[in-house]
Structure 1
């Protein structure tokens, strides 16, 4: 029993975050039907979340089969550009000592990306404040970042300046830059005013950028309790002066602080306090929404294998969509072997997607979007039925004919379905509308 296998990958570089397809060819140079267990070796096995097994590939004697293996390259700074070797272990199911390990190298491309965030989401001060901006190179190649900071509103009485405006970071390197905020001109009295400060990092000639922001709360030079005390003291002084200079024996006029063209000082203070309280409430609601978004579910790719084998009586395999997600099905790569009477049925959430024979199985790509809700499943069902035996030969024959692949014995069918798609959150800031609803 002999075995030969060959692994072919694209020659062009594959940028991280994109996918490539490897082609595995397996030749059965023996004399019996055999099925081969496929196991992915090297870093690509870790990209599949520990699912290194690619299922089984049945091959008839003297023939060869091909399987397409999608490889989704992760977008991470830890994956350096250049050649990345990997291999696939091919083991005979009939004789585990028959093994082939074809190798290949996937060329990883370079990409630039960065993250920016502020250490504090809020600062406060009557004259000045400071903050730290954290920059991180999340690409796999060096990047030169240009940092810019400025208030979002042109009416903001702020002057913002970063200690450094240009930084060069190696892959995975992190840097902190101090940012100073100076209030000009400062406010003497009144409620605190929040001003939003935007920070941005750009690279590649401004073609790519990331942004962050924080809020500087401008306080008055005279705190609110002290201002209230001064207003109350002024009211007492005015009332005492009116009583002092009023005629004796006549009705004492009421002390008023209201001017001829506007509300009194007490009403102005009350209005300023209400406005400040409303601004504080609005800022608190905004911060709560941002905090909820930090732990939200994100969109992620899915690659999983469904394997059925009539010999081991495993005639049905399924994948259940996890809670909080819906599955957007892209393609299902199917390889199978068996008699002409054997059939395969691919279902999604109890609805049939494709039906085919085991002897002529082919890949399935939906023409219209297929969305599978959380709790529902993608199932692969196998119906392997042996063909009836041929009529017995006449007595005049020279001898008994040789038995065919299915004559007088139970039929054997195997199939592997490689399901590819995206898991999309049902709720949260990263949710996407379902086109089927």
Structure 2
């Protein structure tokens, strides 16, 4: 081999955003003048340069070229040891190439940013914020969050309080803010607070925010109550003066219309009995004894059907319930019996614990309703167009629990979501098809 190449030094330490370098000595032990092309090989090639990249060396002499390492201050360049190589290729004798190897030690740096959204919240019973933390470092960063207010009028709950963020990624922390005392009357009060984000090996960042607490009872409550009393008196007078007589008249007419056919049938029965007595003569077959006495037909009012249930249908309700652990999903279902069609008209959902997660109502494999648990405690749906579920099909309630609320008394320990769905409607009997 007529080409010898050496690095000085072999290992280089560099800080992202700055520059470090080394020298490459190329010696020509051949008998002719040789030109050498130097190329960088490895992950460091994107931010490494060689000056000059082409060098001519006389026989028996050596030349030096400079290698410059300039890693950007970015999360895309990880901290740690990065191996590299320089490929030295002779122009006249390319088969006589040599590849010296070295390492670049990229030092870690910490660069994080944080933001709180919204800056100002509003709520009588509390509000929720979200802290977004962006890790622009080239190494994982552990972050701790603390929240304080100057007057100690707020309670805070962060989830989670400590977390680790990988390079180039962002994390989001939920912050629940709740006043220590209720504000019953008066003007809205603005309560400022501060969230401190403390990353490892870096100065903390303070985020200023505030929450507005409106009063529970509005200031014009007295005027509203007086207006409601006046309106109630007006409605009462309207009822007794106009609506009540009209309703009584309409009810009387409707009753007379229903009883008219029954009275007519009773009169016809009396006439037939009277004619039978006259045809039997003065004494009749028994000398007048035991003359039948005309009896009026009993007045029986028909039983009206249930509201919304067609004649011949049967009202039906089924309650689905699930008890689900945090991070899990659980399903409860109802199968429509044979020779029946279930017509679903109303859905009543209950989340008594204030769980957080997702509830799906699935009919025959199709999701017809999806709601977030933390958006309701009691929720009632009335179907404008009822859903008809044929026999053998399944209605399921699937609950995915993210965080369980405060457990109800008598239900055991916490940590489980307990949610319910009441399905109301009616069953309609389906006639079986005749056997051919």
Tell me the TM-score normalised to structure 2 length: 0.41
Greater relative contact order, per chain length (Cα 8 Å cut-off, separation 6+)? 1
TM-score computed with the length of structure 1 as normaliser: 0.41
The structure with the larger Rg is 2
